[in-house]
Amino acid sequence: MRPHNIPMLRGLPVWVGVLLACGGAVAEGQEPARDGEAAAEPPPAPELPGAAPPAGVGSSPVSAVAPSEPGKLEPQPLPPASADPPDGAIAVAQAWPVALALDATHVYWANWGGYRDGGILRASKQGGLPELLVSSSSRPDSLLLDRGHVYFAERVSSTLSRVPLASGPVEPIVERVGDMGWVLSEQLVYFLGNTTEGIHAVGKQGGEIETVVPAVTTSGPLQLHGGYVYWREHYFASVPSFDGGAQRLWRAPVQGGAPELLVTEPHSVLTGLVVDDQAVYYGLAVNLPECGCEGGQLKVLAHGSTATQTFASVQGDYLGAIAVTPAHLYWSTASTIQRTSKDGAVTVTLASNLPSVSALAVDDEHVYFGTYEESGSIRRIAR
């Protein structure tokens, strides 16, 4: 089974939104339904970036929403904590984990949910019982850590909230956050509203909403680096394959200024986006010219350049999550985790035969990842 953010390959439906949930329960043992498939009881599964986000954000102060009710989710216990958990397991029996974040001592993740509620959880990097920070039936789909809080977005309610790292009351920040499109700066949250309403900013505790990049067509994910906000523009034809789509990557100064088109990728779907001091790194689901088949590509656009480089191609598969360190790019396919040097010269397979990798995070010693399954897991391997 593929993670939430990847299109189906030839002959199967294409997902054209990121994690667009329609509510409802999923029976135990049953996977969430895909977009376009009939489902009497289960909710649709998360989708690719690109579906129409929720209603746009106005210029009025944010309105608070009721926080998710804590205490609903009961994760299964892990094996006893140890310096090297069995098989690299940090947490097991997790309901469709979709996003990861790290601090010095803990792994944090978002469970999309399925036959039971999702939520935001954490566990020691050394193993032990997972700790539920907040339960949610609104399909949490993304999270970031900042100054003692976990910030997270929920797909059904389109709400961005935060909760203390060590648990506590949930604080809603802003409503109607679209398409997994948000990122944190030192003082602000930048986020997408409606597809055509541009990019906005609000304080980390809520307040007045400001428009940063007006009247542009946007879709998540967002990245923030060097005084610029980066985003993608997408459009899809009504065809049974992602061959009819295209992606454009843009950036604009957060202090105001005209948007700058960085690159256009025809007949493709963006599957990952990361920016650092050297370049923009992104993954695509695309038709590969070398084989005439569908697959994935890892591409790099150096700052100040107009020419992209292809660092890796994967035939008959997709390229999923991307994480960056000073020396390497870490990236996933459906069943593998790879490491590529920053010059693109050497790629090493770190793990293979994995069940549906859905998220990556890297610290000084390990690569942490989630497996997107009904009874998924949070695991780690050596870097």
Domain assignments of the chain as residue spans, ordered by start? 86-382
For residues 143 and 109, is the Cβ–Cβ distance under 8 A? yes
Which has more pLDDT, 220 or 377?
A: 377
pLDDT in tens, 97-133: 999 999 999 999 999 986 667 999 999 998 889 999 9
Q: Can you read off the two tokens belonging to residue 285? A: 């689901």
Q: What is the mean pLDDT of residues 173-184?
A: 87
pLDDT of residue 55 exceeding 70: no
Q: How high is the pLDDT of residue 196? A: 67
47-69: average pLDDT: 32
Residues 35 and 217: their CA atoms lie apart, in Å, by: 23
pTM of the model: 0.77
In the CATH scheme, what architecture does the domain 86-382 have?
6 Propeller (2.120)
What pLDDT score was predicted for residue 242?
Answer: 47
Q: Residue 69 pLDDT more than 60?
A: no
The whole-number pLDDT of residue 222 equals 93
Side chain identity at residue 313, one-letter code: S
Q: What is the DSSP string of 27-49?
A: -TT-PPBPTTS--SSSPBPP--T
For the chain, where are the alpha helices, taking DSSP H only? none
Q: Which tens digit of pLDDT belongs to each residue from 224-264?
A: 999 999 998 876 555 444 445 678 999 999 998 899 999 99
Quick one: pLDDT band at residue 164, thresholds 50, 70, 90?
very high
The residue among 287 and 353 whose pLDDT is bigger is 353
The region of weakest confidence among 15-24, 135-144, 186-195, 286-295 is 15-24
Whole-number pLDDT of residue 288: 79
Percentage, residues of the chain above pLDDT 90: 51
Using DSSP, state whether 308 is helix, strand or coil: strand
Task: State the chain's mean pLDDT as an integer.
Answer: 77
Q: What is the pLDDT of residue 230?
A: 96
3-class secondary-structure state, position 242: helix
According to the model, what pLDDT value does residue 245 have?
65
Whether residue 380 is predicted with pLDDT greater than 60 in this model: the reply is: yes
Averaged pLDDT for residues 201-221: 89
Q: Is the Cβ–Cβ distance between 122 and 130 less than 8 Å?
A: yes
- Arithmetic mean of pLDDT, 273-281: 96
Cα 224 to its chain centre, rounded Å, is 15
Q: H helices of 214-331, where?
A: none
Q: For residue 11, what pLDDT is reported?
A: 29
pLDDT value at position 286?
Answer: 84
Read off the pLDDT band of 27 (50, 70, 90). very low
Q: Is the pLDDT of residue 44 over 70?
A: no
CA distance 275 to 285: 19
Query: Taking 50 as the threshold, does the pLDDT of residue 30 lie above it?
Result: no
The reported pLDDT for the residue numbered 37 is: 36
Give the pLDDT of residue 379.
Answer: 95
pLDDT at 85: 47
